[in-house]
Structure formats: structure tokens, C-alpha cells
Amino acid sequence: MTRAVCPGSFDPVTYGHLDIFRRTAGLFDELVVATGTNISKSRLFDPEERLEMLREACAGIPNVTVMGFTGLIVDFCREIDAHAIVKGLRGGNDYEYELPMAQMNAHLTGIETIFVPTTASLGYVSSSLVKEVASLGGDVSEFVTPAVHERLTAKLAARR
């Protein structure tokens, strides 16, 4: 049984993430999409909300399981017996950010990271930009599912 983990903050999940999940899920028996916490990023949604949005968004993708994790990603991978970490790359900046993490994780436990290039038409989509555009009144409905869009709109309205 081959199991891979695709970790991220997913604050919130976008069609860019879903593209990576769909294209990667078929490469393994199981893809675990795992929402964790990046301590250097501020978050809009709490962990339970991010999990709920991920579960709704991934419901139709075969082989995908959604889980939350705390602590080190390598420990989580060991706990669930995952063989690889999957990360989507939009471009050079993502590579610069992801490479040291992949190397550190390989050093810690020997786990390999597989980089998957984002579909070109989604290369500019990120959770951060979606939040910024939405918070300034822009239309982000083409970048997230209707359920995520609804939650994002409600969350931003509650913050005003």
C-alpha cells in the first residue's frame, strides 16, 4: 500500500490545491491531505474550519483522506505510515521555500518529497492572494469552491 501526504495550511483550500490533489491521488493507493500550522503565517480560519472546508472540497476525489496534524510533519508521516510528501510548486519562489523543508524532512527521517508542478492556468492562485483580494472587495469565486466562498465571505464580514 502506497500512501503519500500532501500537507499545507489550506487557509482556505483553493482550486490550485484541488488540482494538485486530483492529479496526485491516482499516483498512490491513498493521498492524505493534512492540514497543519505554519507558525510563521497568520491564519484567517481555525484548524477545525480548515478541516471542514477540505473535507467538503475533497469529498468527490477518490483515494483522498483529509486529516489534521500538529507537531512535525515527519512524525505525522511516520504515525500513519506514509512513504512520501507531495508539494505543489507554482514557480521558483515556491521551490526556494519548499526545498530546505524537503531536505530537512529527508534528513530527519529519510522521507522523500515529490514536487508536482501546478497547472499553468492556476499558477497565480494562492490562499494568501485569495484572502487579500476578497478582503478588499474583489471577486474570488473562480478560485475557490462555492462552499469555501460562502465561508470566506461570512468570515470577512464578521471581521469588519
Q: Which stretch binds ligand PNS (CB under 6 A): 2-10, 47-55, 134-142, 143-151?
A: 2-10
Q: How far is the CB of 109 from ligand PNS (least distance, A)?
A: 11
**Number of residues lying near ligand PNS (CB under 6 A):** 12
| Residue 17 bears catalytic tag | yes
| Residue 50 bears catalytic tag | no
Other Cβ atoms less than 10 A from the Cβ of 133: the count is 13
Q: How far is the CB of 70 from ligand PNS (least distance, A)?
A: 8
User: Which parts of 90-119 interact with ligand PNS (CB under 6 A)?
Assistant: 101, 104-105
Q: Is 146 exposed, middle or buried (0-12, 13-18, 19+ CB in 10 A)?
A: exposed
How large is the C-alpha radius of gyration of the chain?
15
State which of residues 44, 73, 82, 152 lies at the interface with ligand PNS (CB under 6 A).
Answer: 73
| Residue 90 bears catalytic tag | yes
Residue among 87, 127, 131, 149 flagged as catalytic: 127
The DSSP output letter for 27 is: T
The DSSP output letter for 37 is: -
Report yes or no: 91 and 99 within 8 Å, Cβ to Cβ: no
Residue among 90, 126, 135, 155 flagged as catalytic: 90
Residue 73 to residue 76: CA distance in whole angstroms:
5
Report yes or no: 5 and 30 within 8 Å, Cβ to Cβ: no
Cβ-based nearer residue to ligand PNS, 106 or 160: 106
Strand order in the sheet with 3-8: 64-68, 30-35, 3-8, 84-89, 112-117
| Residue 43 bears catalytic tag | no
> What residue ranges bind ligand PNS (CB under 6 A)?
7-9, 36-38, 41, 72-73, 101, 104-105
Among all residues, which ones are annotated catalytic?
17, 41, 90, 127
